Structure 1
Amino acid sequence: MIMDIDWENLGFKFMPARSNIRFHYADGKWDDGTLTGSYDITVSVAANAFHYGQAIFEGGKAFRCKDGKVRIFRPEENGRRLNRSASHLLMPEFPVDKFVEAVKTVVRDNADFVPPYGTGGALYIRPVMFGTTPQIGVGASLEYELIIMVVPVGAYYKGGIKPVDAMISRDYDRAAPHGTGHIKAAGNYAASLISSKQAKERGCAVALFLDPATHTFIDEFGTSNFLAITKDGKYVTSESDSILASITNNSLMTLAADLGMPVERRKIRASELADFAEVAACGTAVVLTPVGRIFNGDEVIDYHFTEIGPQLKKLYDEMTGVQVGERPDRHGWLTEI
């Protein structure tokens, strides 16, 4: 059994669970993996990941559902996206079926760390792959580790979802044109930290990035995709080569279509922001974060919401309902452990 956990007051922060699962790549192949209770690693100070940035990660969740069973949300999509990231950074791909089984194994071994149904919590799943070969010259690593750890996390918002303020980053870009913005590379998030700091200094929760080539179109928020609801009820999200293909956004677009909402993935001009009815950031950690105001230099775009907007609320309830088994899983997104 595990130590007593205050399920009602879990935050979104690191907490060691019982185990993580680790795989090592050498001589052109991955090993069979090992469950371990250790949260430490031993690598050379010259490891590739420290010097040349071969490091990628993923984020997923497992839920204790209404019927008491534990299910994982779309793990195969995380496996596919991990491989797209790996391919771009010349890292070895990991078989998707093996990835799903590994996630099931580590979730099963930590099943008592999955927050109870009704608390709003989940077991966060964090796979991370990094190059370990000691090297001074620039080049791809020869050996790699893939570690899948799990962390119990609580409801992101206590007392209901409240809109946050966002600031358009004009001084910095999150990614370069034709760069790594479309993959889940660790360095992308380091590059967004300074804009996030600027946003917080202005009282905003998140930074919103424009396309790095022209600074004309909306790309995404520092940690999540951008979506908007138009005044005539369309779901609109950014199309760009420099943003991550969000599994949450993809799922929300599917659910929006199920609910009869027209869905558009297209280039969105920054000048359109004032014309939207509702705006949100979407990602694994929270599903949807409604945006109440956007600061663009001296301009303030106010959507006049003190609570989540009606269309976003409908989408949020549908998504979270599917994840915990309160609503039908019409698309086969849940994998039982």
Structure 2
Amino acid sequence: MIRRALCFPSFIRKSLLIPPVISPYSNSSSKIGAYNGYASQTSSLEVPDSAPYRENDEYADVDWDNLGFGLMPTDYMYVNKCGAGQHFGHGQLNPYGNIHLSPSAAVLNYGQGLFEGTKAYRKENGQLLLFRPEQNAIRMKSGAQRMCMEAPSVDQFVNALKQTALANKRWVPPPGKGSLYLRPLLIGSGAVLGLAPAPEYTFLIYASPVRNYFKEGSAPLNLYVEENFDRASRRGTGSVKTISNYAPVLMAQLRAKKNGFSDVLYLDSATKKNLEEVSSCNIFIAKGRCISTPGTNGTILAGITRKSVIELARDHGYEVEERAVAVDELMEADEVFCTGTAVGVAPVGAITYQNTRMEYKTGSGTICQELYNTLLGIQTGVIEDKKGWIIEID
């Protein structure tokens, strides 16, 4: 395929809020405030014949029925750079490809980096939908403060997601066939030798069409409670979506998968008595009409799907508790499920703890299925968004 530089005429820049490309070190800033203005916002776009997402090129050549959760590079990625102590200016869309980094880049030497994850869905009328992207932006800004990094404003973050989704529109699966996973990254790209914050930061977004995260697809998960390895410790970075949190879980995760499990459920590092998280998602347990999930006390990531599911569950009349959840409560639970951007709302069929296997309700009529249907319905436009969570772009 011949790749073209992405050039938006002025009327497209205006409708997308894309300013002319200027130096990435230009000053611009905005404070986090009331970003509900994004909610249910529609960005209308008239597409000329020269745009890379022409109507006669509606879908990429993909076997949508057999789509998994693997990297499938799309056409364009968003890139923006910023010097230390400055503000991000205007980024631009470039053809997807490798990036140039110094071997002394802070992200390579000291792990100074953050990432986010969100999805774009396609409606039957071709519109693309984003789900609560301002929450990802706010979480990245909070994480950047903890990691001593510059971060894009909420406006910049959301607009960059819009641009990336539209430029890769032909890679957004048909309705019901999956979504376009969008991966924002913020990395210390500047060169350092001694341990110090980077002198330059790069904010970029790439995309890949995806479907089910786990190899089981929509089948119930089979988890293993890990007691030898910790995911996070008190006063660490467990509540931050930093890249350095994820590689340490690989050994336990690979070992569990080798033994036939879907993933690992971690316990708190201090007492080994309370549930924390699965490797890449939050955990919920249900008993009767009461749902419990570990509180975000500094070691647990405040997932956006988690937050949304809690609100939806309360709307459905369930009691939801955010608290310390003892591992022993797994013995009495009726249901267990996981939440996350990649996994959605995933049922857990079994958990093994100290050689004891516990099984849970799954399938039709469960709380998990009810919340999954509601959340996915809102995300895909099948259920009316009464909460202002959806941004419509086309």
What's the TM-score, normalizing by structure 2? Answer: 0.82
Identify the residue that residue 69 of structure 1 maps to in structure 2. 127
The match for 1:282 among 339, 349, 371 is: 339
Cα deviation 1:283-324 (Å, max 9, x = unaligned): 111212211111112222222x46466111011011111111
The match for 2:148 among 83, 87, 90 is: 90
The match for 1:153 among 210, 231, 243 is: 210
SS at match of 2:352: strand
Identify the residue that residue 185 of structure 1 maps to in structure 2. 242
- Contact 2:60/2:171 (<8 A) preserved: no
Task: Give, in whole Å, the separation in 2 of the partners of 1:287 and 1:144.
Answer: 30
- Following superposition, the deviation at residue 67 of structure 1 comes to 3.8
Note the 1:11-26 alignment, pairs <5 A.
Answer: 11-26=68-83
The amino acid across from 1:194 in the alignment is: M
Q: Name the Cα RMSD after superposition.
A: 1.7
- Following superposition, the deviation at residue 216 of structure 1 comes to 1.3
Cα deviation 1:232-290 (Å, max 9, x = unaligned): 21121111320100000111111111111111111101111111110011111121221
SS at match of 2:270: coil
Task: Give, in whole Å, the separation in 1 of the partners of 2:254 and 2:247.
Answer: 11
The match for 1:268 among 320, 325, 336 is: 325
- Following superposition, the deviation at residue 161 of structure 1 comes to 2.3
2:95 is the counterpart of 1:46? no
The amino acid across from 2:153 in the alignment is: P
The amino acid across from 2:337 in the alignment is: A
Unaligned runs of 5+ in 1: none
2:386 is the counterpart of 1:330? yes
- Following superposition, the deviation at residue 107 of structure 1 comes to 0.8
- Contact 2:73/2:96 (<8 A) preserved: no
Greater shift in the superposed pair: 28-37 or 56-65: 28-37
- Following superposition, the deviation at residue 34 of structure 1 comes to 1.3
2:159 is the counterpart of 1:101? yes
- Judged with a 3 Å threshold, the aligned counterparts in structure 2 of structure 1 residues 175 and 250 are, in CA distance, closer, same or farther, namely same
Task: Give, in whole Å, the separation in 1 of the partners of 2:171 and 2:150.
Answer: 31
Task: Give, in whole Å, the separation in 2 of the partners of 1:158 and 1:135.
Answer: 40
Identify the residue that residue 290 of structure 2 maps to in structure 1. 234
Identify the residue that residue 5 of structure 1 maps to in structure 2. 62
Cα deviation 1:149-177 (Å, max 9, x = unaligned): 11111244799721121111111101121
The match for 1:246 among 268, 293, 303 is: 303
- Judged with a 3 Å threshold, the aligned counterparts in structure 2 of structure 1 residues 301 and 57 are, in CA distance, closer, same or farther, namely same
Percent identical residues: 36
Note the 1:184-223 alignment, pairs <5 A.
Answer: 184-223=241-280
SS at match of 1:317: helix
- Contact 2:339/2:345 (<8 A) preserved: yes
The match for 2:114 among 41, 53, 56 is: 56
- Contact 2:81/2:88 (<8 A) preserved: yes
SS at match of 2:369: helix
2:366 is the counterpart of 1:316? no
Task: Give, in whole Å, the separation in 1 of the partners of 2:214 and 2:227.
Answer: 29
Moved over 6 A (4+): 157-160
Greater shift in the superposed pair: 64-73 or 94-103: 64-73
Unaligned runs of 5+ in 2: 1-56
Task: Give, in whole Å, the separation in 2 of the partners of 1:106 and 1:18.
Answer: 9
Task: Give, in whole Å, the separation in 1 of the partners of 2:214 and 2:103.
Answer: 39
2:189 is the counterpart of 1:132? yes
Cα deviation 1:126-167 (Å, max 9, x = unaligned): 001111122220111110111111111124479972112111
The number of aligned residues is 334
- Contact 1:161/1:307 (<8 A) preserved: no
- Contact 2:74/2:96 (<8 A) preserved: no
- Judged with a 3 Å threshold, the aligned counterparts in structure 2 of structure 1 residues 116 and 159 are, in CA distance, closer, same or farther, namely farther
Task: Give, in whole Å, the separation in 2 of the partners of 1:271 and 1:259.
Answer: 27
- Contact 1:115/1:123 (<8 A) preserved: yes
Task: Give, in whole Å, the separation in 1 of the partners of 2:217 and 2:198.
Answer: 45
- Following superposition, the deviation at residue 106 of structure 1 comes to 1.1
- Contact 1:161/1:308 (<8 A) preserved: no
The amino acid across from 2:219 in the alignment is: K
Identify the residue that residue 356 of structure 2 maps to in structure 1. 299
- Contact 1:124/1:150 (<8 A) preserved: yes
- Contact 1:162/1:308 (<8 A) preserved: no
Task: Give, in whole Å, the separation in 2 of the partners of 1:160 and 1:65.
Answer: 22
SS at match of 2:246: helix
- Contact 1:278/1:309 (<8 A) preserved: no
Choose 1 or 2 for highest CA Rg.
Answer: 2
- Judged with a 3 Å threshold, the aligned counterparts in structure 2 of structure 1 residues 196 and 159 are, in CA distance, closer, same or farther, namely closer
